[in-house]
Amino acid sequence: EEVNKDLDYDVLIIGAGLSGLYSLHRMRQLGLRVKVLEAGEAEGGTWFWNRYPGARFDSESYSYIFSFSQELLDEWHWTEQFSPQPETLKYIQHFTRKFDLAKDIQFNTRIRSAHFQSPSNHWLLTDESDRTYTTRYLITAMGILNQPTLPDIPGVESFAGQAWHTARWPSDHSALAGKRVGIIGTGATAIQTIQEIYPMCGSLHIFQRTPNWTAPLRNSKINEEEMAAIRKRYPEIFQQCLESYSCFTHVTDYRKTTDYTREELFARWEELFQQPGFAKVLSVSTDIFTDPVANELYSDFHADKIRKRVNDPVLAEKLIPKNHGFGTRRVPLESGYYEAFNEPHVHLVDIREDPIQEITPRGVKTGTQEYELDVLIYATGFDAVTGSFGAVDFQGLEGKKLKDAWSAGIATFLGLSVKDFPNMFMIMGPHQMFGNIPRSIEYAVDWVADFIEWARDNKITFVQPTQRKMDAWYKHVEKLGEGLLANEVDSWMTGVNKNVKTKQKRSLTRYNGPAPGYRKECDAVKARNYSDFVLG
Ligand code: NA7
């Protein structure tokens, strides 16, 4: 406390999503003066902004939440295996109330710049209304998918009807009823949206550039009895998450596809296909994600599933990805997505074949046709992972800009800190373990809390990783990604967003697991008393 007395705060946190809320809770436990600055008008982050119809977890509700509070686990009742967004937001609001967090959150505050001040070793933040805040430590808790991007197509602003990005869904859903609706994109968001809205639309045109591999979600309700059983299993559930490759409950299969006979293999895949959630992605042999032959076989298995569900065989082929294998991009889970295409008022427009030329006041114009629309939905994704950092002017030692530091390639230490940006910690920063995000958040926040506590107790006011350690971390992350077919495919996970000029090429944006290995590395840094950092 002594050392920070001239500063407004010991810790400032940008963002009131799961990362920011848990960070706030932990910093308060340490008795630190802390504040969360949040751009939105309420808490929730990703689950505050993404309220498009059909938005929900693809992970089991009871595994994709905070685990640290037994009381919270005991009192919360999940009503569905895969929680819909309104319920998730309620959970976050409940959490916020329970721990009385709102009094230390300042809403409607968008941070414009964060500049490190030497030699006083503090951060100076400025918001869009020119208010300033000083703090010893800065925690970025901005989320990995928080900068929506519109398509880089001429005329995007000219459409005369209603148009919006899925992450900015208007509160009045009735706008779609009986209307001529168009949607651009067929990622996880689009698939959840399409299967939910098509029954209410007068017509629905789906503009698809790249089809995605998907798998059935198989959601169901959870009754009181089942919830009681889940509560009993919480320790086991979180233990499974702790041990698994990417923090999920699904057990990893380290046998190769060639270790099975053909019959066994297909029987196993069929069994996994019938299971709810990510089993068909996370519990198949891991060589499917590294061996092109195994991958092709598994992709064909899924292609046949699609063919069985879409009545028109020509259309079915258009919905089957041809240029990337199953699981090489994030696999959206669906509930009736393919059946939508059997409806006469639902139309697929293959914009690989017939590219969009422009958005006009009347609708979407391709090379051959103008599609007249009343409503146009952009399900075009995000400037992921680093986009939130690009939206703030971060300046570190000697005025160095984070944007410049990362322009030639992202570099971090543990995905948690960056050289030349002292006293700054990133929750869900690039090169950090993502996987089951809440599991990863809890770990990262606890690690940061331990570090800040240790620094305080040792009267340290300056911490930053060494260049050598950053280089070593990059090599480590690179090595883990070697041989992964996913790293040979464009997606937000490989840092590509064709709508953003600087993101046309692939880059290493994430830690490719295994999560226990990630934690081992971070634990070792702590055990060494943070000697991988320059401390002052
Ligand atoms: P994604 O997965 O990035 O998907 C965006 C979709 O929008 C994808 O189908 C893109 O096609 C399409 N897109 C983007 N720009 C254009 C343009 N200019 N023209 C045509 N089509 C375009 O974002 P989501 O929101 O669905 O999902 C993000 C994550 O959120 C998801 O993984 C979940 O974890 C939650 P493309 O594939 O680039 O050809």
- Residue 101 CA to residue 95 CA, distance in Å, equals 8
Q: Give every CB contact of residue 398 below 8 A, 6+ residues apart in sequence.
A: 118, 420
Category of 420 on φ-ψ map: left (φ > 0), alpha (ψ -120 to 50) or beta: left
Question: In the predicted model, is pLDDT for residue 2 greater than 70?
Answer: no
Cβ contacts of 108 within 8 Å, gap of 6 or more? 38, 39, 40, 41
Name the strands in the sheet holding 356-359, side by side, starting at the edge strand that comes first in the sequence.
356-359, 363-366, 370-372
Per DSSP bridges, beta strands 203-208 and 346-350 are parallel
Q: Taking 50 as the threshold, does the pLDDT of residue 241 lie above it? A: yes
The DSSP-derived string for 52-94 is: -TT-B-SS-GGGSS--S-HHHHHH----BSS-BHHHHHHHHHH
* Confidence check: pLDDT of 493 > 90: yes
Q: Pull the structure tokens for residue 105.
A: 């959150």
Distance from C-alpha of 72 to C-alpha of 51, rounded to nearest angstrom: 24
Give the tens place of pLDDT for each residue, 316-343.
999 999 999 999 999 999 999 999 999 9
- Ligand 1 site-directed mutation target among 189, 348, 437, 499, most atoms within 8 Å of CB: 189
H or E segment at 125?
A: strand 122-127
Q: pLDDT for 346-378, tens place per residue?
A: 999 999 999 999 999 999 999 999 999 999 999
Our answer on whether the CB atom of 265 is closer than 6 Å to any ligand 1 atom is no
Q: What is the mean pLDDT of residues 254-265?
A: 96
| Inter-axis angle of helices 85-98 and 18-29, nearest 10 | 10
Q: Half-sphere exposure of 292 toward its Cβ, with a 13 Å CA cutoff?
A: 5
Q: What band does 513 get if pLDDT is binned at 50, 70 and 90?
A: confident
| ipTM higher than the 0.85 cut | yes
CA 523 to chain CA centroid, nearest Å: 24
> Do 75 and 81 meet the contact criterion of CB atoms below 8 Å apart?
no
**Whole-number Å distance between alpha carbons of 217 and 280:** 10
Reported as a pLDDT band with limits 50, 70 and 90, residue 1 is: very low
Share of the chain above pLDDT 90, in %: 97
Residue type, 501: K
Residue nearest to atom 21 of ligand 1 (CA): 185
pLDDT of residue 61 exceeding 90, the answer is: yes
With the most atoms of ligand 1 within 8 angstroms of its CB, the residue from 153, 183, 209, 504 to mutate is 209
242-270: average pLDDT: 95
pLDDT, average across residues 295-321: 98
Q: How far is CA 467 from the centre of its chain?
A: 28
Confidence check: pLDDT of 67 > 60: yes
Continuous segment of H or E residues that includes residue 207: strand 203-208
CA separation (Å) from 235 to 66, 68, 278, 515? 12, 11, 20, 18
Instruction: Please tell me the residue having the least CA distance from ligand 1 atom 16.
Output: 151
Alpha helix positions (H), 320-401: 337-340, 387-390
pLDDT tens, position by position, 383-398:
999 999 999 999 999 9
Q: State whether the beta carbon of 190 lies less than 6 angstroms from ligand 1.
A: yes
Instruction: Give residue-wise pLDDT tens across range 166-192.
Output: 999 998 767 899 999 999 999 999 999
Residue in the structure block whose two tokens are 């002052």: 536
